[in-house]
Structure 1
Amino acid sequence: MPSPAERYAASRARAARAATPAGRFTETLGLELDDFQREAIDAVQDGAGVLVAAPTGAGKTVVGEFAVALALETGRKAFYTTPIKALSNQKYHDLVARHGSANVGLLTGDASINGEAPVVVMTTEVLRNMMYAASPTLTGLGFVIMDEVHYLADRWRGAVWEEVIIHLPESVQVISLSATVSNAEEFGDWLRQVRGRGDADSLRVIVSEHRPVPLWQHMMVGQRLYDLFVTDGLRAAPGVDGTTRVNPELLQGISAAERSARADGGWRRDDAGGPRGRRGEPRGRGRSGGPRGDRRDQRGGRHTGRSRRYDDARGTGGGGEAGFSRGSLPGGVASRAQVIDRLDRDGLLPAITFIFSRAGCDGAVQQLLGRGTRLIPEEQGQTIRALVAERVAEVDPADLGVLGYHDFVEGLSRGYAAHHAGMLPLFREIVEELFTAGQVRSVFATETLALGINMPARTVVLEKLVKFNGEEHAPVTPAEYTQLTGRAGRRGIDVEGHAVVLWRRGTDPMDVAGLASTRTYPLRSSFRPSSNMAVNLVAQYGRDRAHELLQASFAQFQADRSVVGLTTQIRHNTEALQGYAESMVCDRGDFREYGRLRHQLSEVEKKAARTRQAQRRSDIGQALETLERGQVIQLDGGRHGTMAVVIRGARGRPTGPEPTVITSSGRVQRLSIPGFRDVPEVIGTLTVPKQFNERSPKARKDLAAALRSTVHEPVPGRASSGRGRDGIPEGTAAQVDELRAALAAHPCHSCPEREDHARWAARWWTLRKETDDLQRRVTHRTNTLAATFERICDLLSAMGYLSEDGQEVTAEGQRLRRIYTELDLVAAEALRRGTWRRLSPADLASVVSALVHESRGDEPGDPPTPSVEVAEALGEMGSIWTEVQAGKLAHNLTGDRELDPGITWMVHRWASGRGLEEVLRSGDLSAGDFVRRAKQVVDLLGQITHAADEDVAATARRASAAMLRGVVAADRLD
């Protein structure tokens, strides 16, 4: 027990802290800060920048909120930046509630509220643009909070974060808030280098891997919930100690489900996501099992203790079924409604289910509605209906039906909803508000919900572990898994959070365990210079200084660090090469030259072998491609080879032609190029019955018998392909002869220690090749970004956006400075050439959409153009795009994506005042996607307004006004 003196000293310390800004701020929170929060707040108070890396839900934003309070207390400005508008809107409301609307502003691409307030919330792009424009709003700026700073790894928008960090004045304290990353110290070292003195006092790196709400990992097999990990027979989260292992009862449950599926003859999915029998009939719902527990928390009440222990999750009773009827388990996959039912019974709502498909999210709501699921009382549902009706009052009633409003509000009134980028932004905001308030108990979401938006839940469900990453369907990474499941567990409400992965055939619990326990998430830069960035840097800093600034990017910092290891290896290799050279000295002559000849001969022979192999594969592929039904060939392998008859010709596949055959033993086999040593030859024909069913064992047996009895089996062995001498092309053969003759004539050829010297020579050549490769990698990584910047500047000089020497920005370059779209040069050239001068407002909005739109894979191509003027403008823009790509190619720069006119007709109709139903009827875009694209068009029209001559600028203003109506303007905060 502390002595009176110690208690007095502690009391004095608390009083002293309470008198500081940090102490006063902490008192307003009404909660005890964690150590990492207190350490970060103290660092900010001491004038240091901070990088705070901590799990989702750990309370990182408290540090940013303190910086805001400190700015207001000391008479400085604070900018709170976020990666997305939805998070900016949410943070704006939070700060207004704390500091009042007079002190807080909002600046996003489509909202401007009180922009000169001492505290302004904005998207990171807005701050970047303000800095390039030297906006007077930056005067007095003391703090910049960069929320979700790990977003700088984003391949499309991540570069903006680095631009801001590099260009902010040194006097500005940067508070960077990040998810847990494994290279936080490396990122911190870079921040110290670019943000201050480079020492530890200028920037503090504060890492916490502790989750304030423990997260338990589960898998659901059928409707049975298993713990993923066990430790000494007790439930445990991964990482508690080094003895965690996968629950053996989970493995047994999966084996039972697989046996059940095989016995049942497999399953197919019904529209509701549940398993069906062979004829498509829905399986029985089964009866609920286990005790029901206290349901108060399922109706919005506070959860005051550990989630109800469910017997079957612990595997009690010998791993029994816990009351489920057998009809609910075959196939091992529960329907979405059954999953939510189970979570509701076990007190595990509210829950977010990540589906990775917009249609899947909407379908989940339909499935619950079809089943009559209700998660909240009817009285609460009526309150929600009234609230939603008030929020959508500004939307044209005629548009509500098109937006799926009635199903949307019906689901909300029952306690569940979808959340994805295809929804109307206003609808997403309503879902976020109701879920945060505890009035929605289940949300079906795509992964976009995992970024930043404050929507924690008690449970997170992952339907599968594969998602589309923009290019292909790829496994979920450990970082993505952690980001998604990090939503589980509400601080101050839940004593624990739960992550549930639904098991389905092909889901390996060991893979799930690996995702759940991996703690290595490196942050990688996606920074790359652009044309707009180049002209802005030259305008502000001059070309030489801009070159230096690019060298300060995190991308170059990481590249330079990797070069250190490479150069060390090169040094070691060089020393070893010298030793090898000494060991192969020969008194008969220059053995290095002799070794060069041997090495060259070896390379020529290897190349010839590769050529022969490639030719062989090509010949086999051609032979397989020409095989027809009924033709009989001999397969490789076996003592006497095996005959096979073709039942289905070659298929066009990325891996090559793959005909299907029945072998003489009655086995179905798909042939491929790697399965043959030589070119297959047709040795006979056999009539295959027209209605032949390869799935029928009897049909396969009969066809195999006919094959054996009617076609003579050839003698093993094949003739040589006879492609020249040893299959080597004539020119290569001559080169081989010449090199062999040179070797025989060399004086070292007769050395009695020749092979000993040759071994050292071979090692020398192998190491020399490795060292050359390392040197090329060093050359490629050193000054890569600056070299790209120089090539961009050379292109801009050739196009007239920079002076001939590249040191000054021309009048046309000043236009380019204001254009931030990905196709910035195409837009700038269209302005310079007057491409848009003859267009009406609707026409201009239409053609501008081709600069921002990127079609999804399921959208139709080549839509009709709305007018002759639009068609002409798009044609000229296409020519401009071609010229720009030719210029980039000539300067060794990466090309741009093509123009996409996929929504020109829709945008034209909307800007012409047509209704939403008519607009959406002309394309496959969802309402949410259309609104998002429309806002991007409005954003670019605003840039054109500032960059164009007055006539086009006036048209752009009218076009923007025509676009900003109805649902496009409905969720604007101003």
Structure 2
Amino acid sequence: RLKSRGRQHRGKQKTPTLAAVVSHLQQRDLLPAIYFIFSRKGCDKAIAEVGPLSLVNETEAAALKVQIDAFLARTPEGARDGHVGPLYRGIAAHHAGILPAWKSLVEELFQQGLIKVVFATETLAAGINMPARTTVISSLSKRTDRGHRLLTGSEFLQMAGRAGRRGMDEQGHVTTVQTRFEGASEAAYLATSGADPLISQFTPSYGMVLNLLQIHTLEEAQALIERSFGQYLATLHLAPQQQAIADLEAEVEHQQMQLVHVEDFEVLADYEKLSGRLKEERRLLKMLQRQSQDVQASDIAMAINFAIAGTIIAIQGQAINLSTPLPAILVTKVMGAGQVPYLVILGQNNQWYVISNKEVVGLYPEIPRLAEVDGWELPQYLSLRLNQQTSGDEQTEAIAQRIPPIPPPPALAPEVQEQLQRTQEVEQRLANHQAHQWGKPGKLLKRIRRIQKLEDQISDRRTKLKQRSKHYWRQFLDLIAVLRYFDCLDDVTPTPLGQMAAALRGDNELWLGLAVASGHLELLEPQQIAAVCAALVTEVSRPDLWVAYDPSPEVETALDELRGLRRQIFQRQRRYRIEAPVWLEYDFTGLIEQWALGMEWKTLCENTSLDEGDIVRILRRTLDFLSQIPHVPHLSDEFRKNARRAGHLIDRFPVNETMITPPDSVNAVEESSTSDPAEANSTEAKDLDSTIVTIDG
């Protein structure tokens, strides 16, 4: 009931409007504030919800106008639709879907104190220097891939930690917004929760393996891995396991001390073996006795069908409350519920019984029957229902007294008698066993079995401890095995193919190196190389993704040819349980190709569901990969040159925030190339082909 009332009360809780919260903060002089909302759409919607509200004075508004106008004059493409007007009033949004240039402007204005409220996703809580007087947390729970859940202590503390500006505020303020599902109790719980434990993100990679083995021996590489912070934390986490092993060893020692007086454990082993034999002999005896009883019961059931009134029998059974055989006389048989008749019996105790065949445990045709029961009429008070029991009268008492005692049970069956003797012999041997000289053998054997169980547990824990303590090194060796399979290592020496992969950095250097070395990119044009490289280094997991542009046939062919290699890497990684992504994204490659061909930014964004920030992030990752290719050894000069050209084609605003000049004004320079990576690095900035001007112009 209390739970039900609690839910009903929560349902009546009112959630304050966003505008009301911001106005309240302004009235209480709690601005500037970071207002955390856990979705991009929610941040953009919040900008619209505050309406025409202005949070700046005239002086601040003038300062904002100067800087915003200057930004728009320099980078007109950098403005975000629907965000410019609120920015003039001291209100902004900040999330990963916004252009980096616009986010930089928001961060700079916020640091100057000109932006009073920033609606931001939780990514703002880490990695950016934007302290505020107040942080507002719009919800104490959020939706994740695994469903809706309460914030963790670290997530709450990370956002709350933004409150309070050093040297400006004596204290920071954290505000949580009440919702239908969360209130003061959840806020108090999170505010008093400790931070989550520190977890190392260290994971050996293909690039790490290849680069270490180029300059270190395998033994030196192992020493470096085992000195990592991840291994240090793993060792700390293993302390409870080590303590558990020590506790088990102490208990083993204690148990062994209780057995110091035992002179010969072989004697105890013999006693244990004999005990096992006795257990088996008793099991066989019980089985033979049951079989003998079943045979006897079957014979009695067959004979009872031919028994006549006055026959002397013995009855016993739980249903009639008789635990020992009772001499009785068969009076008559009556129809039962089934085909087998019920037996009406008068016992030696002058009790009437209505029973079935299975309660008859003895039949004695050798004893003369009592003919006096012939023609008896059953008393009216006797109920003829199964397992009924009724006392007799004076007439039946005279007959009951004439029922003779039953003879002793017949001798045991030969096989039962033989098994009984064997069982008694083993019992006698155990009773006279020399193991009794050290105490109760059963108790001693129990201690020995306990020691064996403890030692098994210690062995199992030590095995698991060894596996966990060498976790990173085993990962390192698994990576070596995969690299050998793809001919990147000759034993522990990087091959030319391994050197190519070692020169790259990414989430899966093996995949990138094999893709670059496959030759499938060699004959592509620069814009096509950019599209394929984007597919290799980026993953977009949004289910609602759409792009209006298809990749060129050459790009599709190159990606299709790489699929077989990708499948091989997946299979080999699955065998060794290596979790390194092997990306090959087709969906947005047409978008990258069109950008490399000179399409305007606004047109590009209108033809995809991706946010501007997402597009920039994809292009920057692609550019980073393209910039590495010229420094990869054993590649052709032509491929290196085309990779440089591809990088130049996509490296313009807003990908490159320093390039605010329209692409048409870029002067063509004489292209140059070199097979020497070091020389290529020094001339890379000058290597701009004249085709860029042709494409852009």
| Correspondence 1:358 to 2:34 | no
In structure 2, the partner of 1:349 is 31
1:848 aligns with 2:539: no
Report the AA paired with residue 551 of structure 2: P
Q: Is residue 907 of structure 1 aligned with residue 592 of structure 2?
A: yes
CA distance in 2, matches of 1:864, 1:748: 90
Matched, 1:495 2:180: no
**Per-residue deviation, 1:503:** 1.6
Task: Quote how far apart the aligned CAs of 1:946 are.
Answer: 1.6
Correspondence 1:391 to 2:71 = yes
Matched, 1:935 2:620: yes
Look up the SS of the partner of 1:970 in the other structure. coil
Q: Which residue of structure 2 aligns with residue 866 of structure 1?
A: 551
**Residues 626 and 644 in structure 2, CA contact (< 8 A), matched pair in contact too:** yes
Correspondence 1:276-295 to 2 at 5 A:
none
Question: Are 1:534 and 2:209 matched, yes or no?
Answer: yes
Counterpart pick for 1:925 among 594, 606, 610 = 610
SS of the equivalent of 1:365 reads helix
Distance 1:796 1:832 in 2: 14
2:93 equivalent among 418, 438, 446: 418
1:236-256: CA deviation from partner (whole Å, max 9, x where unpaired): xxxxxxxxxxxxxxxxxxx99
Whether 1:429 and 2:104 are equivalent positions in the alignment is: yes
Q: Is the 8 A contact 1:432 1:455 kept in 2?
A: yes
SS in 2 for 1:965: coil
Partner amino acid, structure 1, of 2:73: A
CA distance in 2, matches of 1:971, 1:470: 37
Contact 1:538 1:546 in 2 (8 A): yes
Alignment match, 1:119: none
Letter in 2 for 1:482: L
Measure the CA separation in 2 of the matches of 1:963 and 1:830: 21
Contact 2:507 2:580 in 1 (8 A): no
> Partner amino acid for 2:601?
L
What is the match of residue 637 of structure 2?
950
Give 1:903 shift: 1.7
Higher alpha-carbon deviation: 557-566 or 759-768: 759-768
SS at match of 1:967: coil
Give the C-alpha shift of residue 765 in structure 1. Answer: 6.6
C-alpha distance in 2 between matches for 1:746 and 1:375: 102
1:805 partner letter: D
Q: Distance in 2 between matches of 1:955 and 1:535?
A: 26
- 782, 797, 805: which is aligned to 2:491? 805
- Secondary structure in structure 1 of the residue aligned to 2:472: helix
The change in CA–CA distance for 1:941 and 1:579 in structure 2 (over 3 A counts) is: same
Cα gap change, 1:364/1:773 in structure 2, threshold over 3 Å: closer, same or farther? farther
- Work out whether residues 205 and 508 of structure 2, in 8 Å CA contact, stay in contact via their aligned partners in 1: no
Deviation at 1:572, TM superposition (A): 3.1
Residue 572 of structure 1 corresponds to: 247
**Distance (whole Å) between structure 2 residues aligned to residue 442 and residue 424 of structure 1:** 19
Name the SS of the counterpart of 2:35 in structure 1: strand
Deviations 1:436-474 (A, max 9, x none): 111110011111111232211111011112235676554
Kept in 2: contact 1:866–1:904 (CA 8 A): yes
After TM superposition, the structure 1 = structure 2 runs for residues 259-338 of structure 1, keeping only pairs within 5 Å, are 331-338=13-20
Q: Which residue of 1 aligns with 2:53?
A: 373
Question: Is there any run of 5+ residues in structure 2 with no aligned partner, and where?
Answer: 260-264, 278-422, 432-439, 661-684, 686-697
Distance across 1 between alignment mates of 2:208 and 2:460: 32
Structure 1 counterpart of 2:501: 816
Question: Does the residue aligned with 2:38 lie in a helix, a strand or coil?
Answer: coil
Residue 959 of structure 1: CA displacement?
Answer: 0.9
Q: 1:109 matched to which residue of 2? A: none
> Does structure 1 conserve the Cα–Cα contact (< 8 Å) formed by 2:210 and 2:502?
yes
Determine which structure has more spread, i.e. the larger CA radius of gyration: 2
User: Residues 500, 758 of structure 1: CA spacing in aligned structure 2 closer, same or farther, 3 A cutoff?
Assistant: farther
Are positions 1:780 and 2:456 aligned together? no
Q: CA separation of 1:919/1:581 partners in 2, compared to 1, >3 Å: closer, same or farther?
A: farther
Q: Of the candidates 104, 115, 128, which is equivalent to residue 453 of structure 1?
A: 128
Q: How does 1:536-935 map to 2 (within 5 A)?
A: 536-577=211-252, 579-580=254-255, 589=269, 760=447, 763=450, 767-768=454-455, 770-802=457-489, 804-806=490-492, 808-860=493-545, 865-891=550-576, 893-935=578-620
User: Using the alignment, how far apart are the partners of 2:626 and 2:170 within structure 1?
Assistant: 49
1:504 maps onto 2:179 in alignment: yes
Distance in 2 between the 1:951 and 1:595 partners? Answer: 85
CA contact (8 A) 2:202 2:230 kept: yes
Distance 1:817 1:345, change over 3 A: same
| Matching of residues 15-34 of structure 1 within 5 Å | none
Deviations 1:211-261 (A, max 9, x none): xxxxxxxxxxxxxxxxxxxxxxxxxxxxxxxxxxxxxxxxxxxx9998777
Does structure 2 conserve the Cα–Cα contact (< 8 Å) formed by 1:862 and 1:901?
Answer: no
In 1, distance between residues paired with 2:517 and 2:48? Answer: 51
Paired with 1:906 and 1:961, the residues of 2 have a C-alpha distance of 16
Structure 1 letter corresponding to 2:67:
L
Query: Percent identical across equivalent pairs?
Result: 29
User: CA 1:336 to 1:862, structure 2 compared with 1: closer, same or farther past 3 Å?
Assistant: closer
Distance 1:458 1:950, change over 3 A: same
The alpha-carbon deviation at position 960 of structure 1 amounts to 0.8
Instruction: Note the alpha carbon deviations across 1:550-588, whole angstroms, 9 max, x for none.
Output: 111011112233445423432431342465578797966
Cα distance change on mapping 1:970 and 1:767 into 2, 3 Å: same
For residues 580 and 593 of structure 1, the distance between their equivalents in structure 2, rounded to whole angstroms, comes to 21
Number of equivalences: 498
State the 1:415 CA deviation: 1.0
The code of the aligned residue for 1:850 comes to A
Could you give the per-residue CA deviations for residues 665-715 of structure 1, whole angstroms, max 9, x where no partner exists?
A: xxxxxxxxxxxxxxxxxxxxxxxxxxxxxxxxxxxxxxxxxxxxxxxxxxx
Q: Which amino acid aligns with 1:868?
A: P
Q: Report Cα offsets for 1:716-748 as digits up to 9, x if no partner.
A: xxxxxxxxxxxxxxxxxxxxxxxxxxxx99989
How far apart, CA to CA, are the structure 1 residues paired with 2:276 and 2:505?
54
> Where in structure 1 are there 5+ consecutive unaligned residues?
1-254, 263-329, 598-743
TM-fit CA distance, 1:762: 7.1
User: Structure 1 stretches (4+) deviating beyond 6 angstroms?
Assistant: 255-261, 581-586, 591-597, 744-755, 861-864
Instruction: Give the secondary-structure state (helix, strand or coil) at the position aligned to 2:154.
Output: helix
Shift of 1:488: 0.7
- Measured against aligned partners, the alpha-carbon deviations of 1:45-99 in whole angstroms (never above 9, x if no partner) come to xxxxxxxxxxxxxxxxxxxxxxxxxxxxxxxxxxxxxxxxxxxxxxxxxxxxxxx
Cα–Cα, structure 1 residues 460 and 747, in superposed 2: closer, same or farther, change >3 Å?
farther
- Confirm or deny: 8 A CA contact 1:434 1:440 kept in the other structure: yes
Q: Is the 8 A contact 2:272 2:445 kept in 1?
A: no
> What is the SS of the residue equivalent to 1:969?
coil
1:918 Cα offset (Å): 3.2
* Distance across 1 between alignment mates of 2:550 and 2:429: 79
